[in-house]
Structure 1
Amino acid sequence: MLSRKKHLEVLKARAHEEYEWDVIVIGGGATGLGSAVDAASRGLKVLLLEGHDFAKGTSSRATKLAHGGVRYLAQGNFSLVREALEERGRMLLNAPNLVKPLAFVIPVRNVFQKLFYWFGLKLYDLLAGKLGVGPTTLMKKNEVLRTVPTISQHKLHGGVRYFDAQFDDARLAIALMKTLHKLGGMAINYVPVTGFVKVGEKITAVQARDVFSGECFTFRSKAVINATGVWVDEIRQMDSAEAKPMLSPSQGVHVVVDEHFYPAKEALLVPKTSDGRVLFVVPWQGKTLIGTTDTPRADAPWEPDALPEEVDFILNTAALYLAKAPTRADVRSVFVGLRPLVNAGGEKQNTKSISREHTVITAASGLVTITGGKWTTYRSMAEEVVDLVCEQQGWLNKPTRTRHMRLEDDLPMRKPGSAIHENLVLNEAEIAQAVLEEMAVTIEDVLARRSRALFLDSAAALACMNEVRFVLQNELRLSDEELDRQEDEFRKLVAQYSLAGV
């Protein structure tokens, strides 16, 4: 059983014994979890420290797509596309219960557009090679209408169908966490890093604190990987006050509406919106997910707000392609993710021009930082950074085993019991499973990431709060004061995920 309480007890004992880890990974998102799994697969002693919950930040707020990047294909960045397509194929093979093929329809308005996109996506298929998902095909107008019955017929000439894959980002993060533990590594949430211990200029230990008890720990380690996404600069500056920021974050907004606006099994891709990006309309868990935007930010809050103009842009663009377009009143949830865009030049740029390729740097202290990239390439990024650490430490003959390694990707078993809300498939037994077997410790953990209730229907998630509180109190013996605090925090979060004030 993956109970946080039991793992914390083991960690306390090891901290007191001055146990030395081979690698400590800071950050429990896609890159951090992937790096920890990769290191553990090589037989290294690995500890992952997450200051909030696993996938709390960007890694639970993606468009839920494993893809090569059609936009990068248009930019001629073939090497990035080829790598991402290979990793998409590995995700499908290594986590088949969580990652599924998904067809996409691109509506076109003339023969030139149809041939242009067909040719480009045939190249996409070619770059995927043996790990391709399905062939790109031309679609007549009638076939598009049968596939996407709610599409607008205005200027519709036909379409092009191609294939990528879809997954549940937060659930894949939990699968990685479970895989890490099976490999003999450890991961703990709600233990933020507070500082480093150094001998000379080299880091020899990591200082951390348990959020709930306030207890402080020192964990010795031979190597430390900073994989905190858009927050890597905070850890780098904790290591050295002279560290210059390396990121220019941007945010992407997604809105979720009911399925009847888009009752199709295949997704819709608008290849070029008015801001030069692409827009996805994707069926997801009985709802419709529409996104995304690209807005530069000067800061990196844990809970960024959607701007009114971002929501309007998404709804207005969707209205050009859907016969019955959703309005603000139809939005069930709105969520915002921050992209860790690497700004190598040190100057602010247009975020569409900043590379999403990842960057790995090593500080004088030995702190290795990895950032950038996307969910699809999490595994190859992890392999690269752990290869570097092994080289630096002189650990020979320790190859990765993750390329063909099946993840602990079993979906939560459908437990017997009636759903606690008519708009959600969630019951009390599943809440208990999240707490006892998946290290959930807050109302938000359960309703945002172990289940996706908050992302699917924020009002329904709020209505489930008391049932989650009851299970947390029963299983974890949390105090009334702590549960009241969690309730207050969750209410604020629900307000952000609804359109109140946006």
Structure 2
Amino acid sequence: MNIDRTTMLDKVKKETDFWDIVIIGGGATGLGAAVDASSRGYKTLLLEQHDFAKGTSSRSTKLVHGGVRYLQQGNVALVLEALRERGLLIQNAPHLVKNQSFIVPNYDWWEGPFYGIGMKVYDMLAGRLGIGKSKKLSREKTLELLPTIESEGLKGGVIYYDGQFDDSRLAINLAQTALDHGGYTINYAKVTGLLKTNDAVSGVKAQDQLTGEDFEVNARAVVNATGVFTDDILEMDDSDAQDIIVPSQGVHIMLDKDFLPGDSAIMVPHTEDGRVLFAVPWHDKILVGTTDTPVESPELEPMAMEEEVDFILDHATKYLTGNPTRADIKSVFAGLRPLVNTSGSKDTADISRDHTLLVSLSGLVTIAGGKWTTYRKMAEDTIDKAATVAGLKEQDCITEELRIHGWLKNVDREDHLHNYGSDKVAIDKIIENNPKMGEPLHERLPYLKAEVIWAVRNEMAITVEDVLSRRTRALLLDAKASIEMAPEVARLMAKEAGHDKQWQEKQVEEYKTIADRYIFSG
């Protein structure tokens, strides 16, 4: 079915009755909550100020994992929950989530036994939802699997298995899943205030960011799922509300596959800032990160700092014989973690990644913290609470076994269109009807013209950035190539959506301004 944002928004603006649940925020947490609420049969609306997954949820390390670092910290409960959710997500979105082998290279005599035992505990905690057994590797086997690993002093390695996914593609599929179950998910609709009746939250004020039109929505329950912007909504509710979010910036760089050929990823369990460092194959490139840098205030387009990029390059050079430099970086991106600080800790690496659920005196339900892997459990807890607060009829959560839009079990991972799952058939049809749509948009990337058409028609892509950053991942994989693709993407979008030449030019200009920030020329 074609998804028409305008038609949907018109219905929302004309609706005078109450929605059961209105969710503010279209990242992993908000979209998960929309899927949960709509699949229970609640009348559900989600409003996102920009595009789905514009913020943190498109800028992750692309891992569905239990969290080896949390095991080091002794947070077994979080690891248990995350490993269980990892198993469920692999079952519920097999077109987007896959098993990924990770190798911990050992350079000290004690590392082999130490990490070997640690990974056995990790396997054990996964139980029947485990995806592969860890084992110790000889020096020779480690070099065979990681031919570009630094060999000097290498003693061997430990191999283990975790999940890997495409974060913004999953976000789009979650928005579609909510729609499939009768919910409404609308991007570029910013909540500007809360409606109250007798001091209780009874809806939201919002603005259509494309037309500037203001509208109001009545709701029995309102959920604040705005990630790093959580405090802004809490302040709308209560001007004296205490800030609870401590934003922490994580930076990643993208390198060519030559730096780490083969299928295995590298996991470095301890860096100078106490973080785990990953070098992971992703979309035929290598993703390396991440950092943990406290930042003062959140923004939609955070910038990587020079010292963060140098930190990643320094560590990559220690472990990769290719010794990547700044000139090798294809793209650099930064994301902000919405950490909830109730401990008073100044070190963001020490702040728990557990999620936090709060109910204000007004009845506003706030969900904060957490991570992509546990989005489904966070949503379940949130909708349980929201339904109780609003006095809604009790309905059981069904998302543990709910297939996410696009579900397809056996996909050909060599074909980049596998990310669309069962929707791939419709994209193939676009190409069949017009073979020109099967042409690539750029010689260095696999994306096709048909994907632009599909994104406009069926995935609520409004801007060139929506297409190049989140419907495809061109911006993250090769920022310069994505800039070169922008004029053709704008032309295809304009033709599909009925925009003029001026719109195209403005879009290309705006996109270049954003994409320039992903090119590291420092």
Instruction: Give the TM interval when normalised to the shorter protein.
Output: over 0.9
Hey, what does 2:415 align to over in structure 1? none
Contact persistence 2:250–2:337 (CA under 8 A): yes
Matches within 5 A, 1:43-58: 43-58=41-56
Q: Which range moved further: 22-31 or 465-474?
A: 465-474
- Gap regions ≥5 residues in structure 2: 408-418, 432-437
- Structure 1 residue 274, shift from structure 2 partner: 1.9
Following the alignment from structure 1 to structure 2, what is the Cα–Cα distance between the partners of residues 335 and 489?
17
Corresponding residue for residue 256 of structure 2: 258
Aligned equivalents of 2:203 and 2:472: distance in 1?
Answer: 35
1:267 to 252, 260, 265: 265
Q: Distance in 2 between matches of 1:375 and 1:105?
A: 22
Percent identity over the alignment is: 48
CA contact (8 A) 2:20 2:392 kept: no
- Whole-angstrom distance in 2 between the partners of 1:223 and 1:479: 41
Aligned partner of 2:370 in structure 1 is 373
What's 2:204 paired with? 206
CA, structure 1 residues 315+208, in 2 after alignment: closer, same or farther (shift >3 Å)? same
Does 2:442 align with 1:442?
A: no
Instruction: Report the counterpart of residue 238 of structure 1 in structure 2.
Output: 236
Aligned to 1:476: 497
- SS of 2:401's equivalent in the other structure is coil
Matches of 1:480 and 1:238, distance apart in 2: 39
Question: 1:228 maps to what in 2?
Answer: 226
CA distance in 2, matches of 1:466, 1:484: 8
Give the residue type in structure 1 aligned to 2:310. D
Matched position secondary structure for 1:164: strand
Q: Which amino acid aligns with 2:478?
A: D
Distance in 1, Cα, partners of 2:303 & 2:5: 34
In structure 2, C-alpha distance between the alignment counterparts of 1:491 and 1:80, rounded to whole Å: 40
2:361 counterpart residue number: 364
Match of 2:349 among 342, 348, 352: 352
Q: How far apart are the structure 2 equivalents of 1:383 and 1:330?
A: 42
Whether contact under 8 Å (2:100, 2:162) holds in the other structure is yes
* Alpha carbons 1:20, 1:221 under 8 Å: kept: yes
Q: 1:175 aligns with which of 170, 173, 176?
A: 173
Query: Aligned to 1:150, which of 128, 148, 151?
Result: 148
The one-character-per-residue Cα deviations of 1:229-280 (angstroms, maximum 9, x if unpaired) are 0001111111221111101111000000100111120110011112221110
Equivalent position of 2:68 in the other structure: 70
1:28–1:55: 8 Å Cα contact kept in structure 2? yes
Correspondence list, 1:313-328, <5 A: 313-328=311-326
Specify the alignment match of 2:446 in structure 1: 425
State the SS of the aligned residue for 2:246.
coil
Shift of 1:396: 4.1
Matched residue SS, 1:192: strand
Q: Matched residue of 1:53: which SS? A: coil
Does the CA-based 8 Å contact 1:272-1:278 persist in structure 2?
A: yes
Q: Is the 8 A contact 2:338 2:368 kept in 1?
A: yes
Bigger drift between 434-443 and 387-396 goes to 387-396
Look up the SS of the partner of 1:341 in the other structure.
strand
Greater mean alpha carbon deviation, residues 13-22 or residues 128-137:
13-22
Q: Secondary structure at the match of 2:125?
A: helix
Residue among 4, 7, 16 paired with 2:5? 7
Kept in 2, the 8 Å contact 1:66–1:376? The answer is yes
Q: RMSD in angstroms over aligned alpha carbons?
A: 1.3
Count of aligned pairs between the two proteins: 498
SS at match of 2:240: coil
SS in 1 for 2:189: coil
Range with greater deviation from structure 2 (416-425 or 437-446): 416-425
2: CA distance, partners of 1:160 / 1:130 = 21
Please state if 1:489 is matched with 2:510.
yes
Q: Mean Cα displacement is larger for which, 484-493 or 62-71?
A: 484-493
Question: In the alignment, residue 214 of structure 2 is paired with which amino acid?
Answer: C
Amino acid across the alignment from 2:359: T
Following TM superposition, by how much is the alpha carbon of 1:12 offset from its aligned partner in structure 2, in angstroms?
A: 2.1
Question: Residues of 1 paired with 2:78 and 2:189: CA distance?
Answer: 34
CA 1:381–1:464: 2 relative to 1, 3 Å: same
CA distance in 2, matches of 1:120, 1:409: 36
Question: Is the CA contact (8 Å cut-off) linking 1:12 and 1:217 kept in structure 2?
Answer: no
Where does residue 393 of structure 1 map in the other structure? 390
- The separation in 2 between residues aligned to 1:443 and 1:195, in whole angstroms, is 29
Give the Cα separation in 1 of the matches to 2:163 and 2:15.
45
* 1:87-102 map, 5 Å: 87-102=85-100
Deviation of 1:353 (Å): 1.4
Is residue 2:341 matched to residue 1:383?
Answer: no
Alignment-derived partner of residue 402 in structure 1: 399
Unaligned residue ranges in structure 1 (runs of 5+): none
Please give the per-residue CA displacement for 1:76-117, whole angstroms capped at 9, x wherever unaligned. Answer: 110010000000001101101100010100000244210100
Structure 2 contact 106–154 (Cα < 8 Å) conserved: yes
Task: Write the letter of the residue equivalent to 1:360.
Answer: L
Which moved further from structure 2: 298-307 or 481-490?
A: 481-490
Deviation at 1:394, TM superposition (A): 2.7
Question: What amino acid maps onto 2:386 in structure 1?
Answer: V
Aligned mates of 1:124, 1:39 — CA distance in 2: 32
Aligned mates of 2:513, 2:481 — CA distance in 1: 15
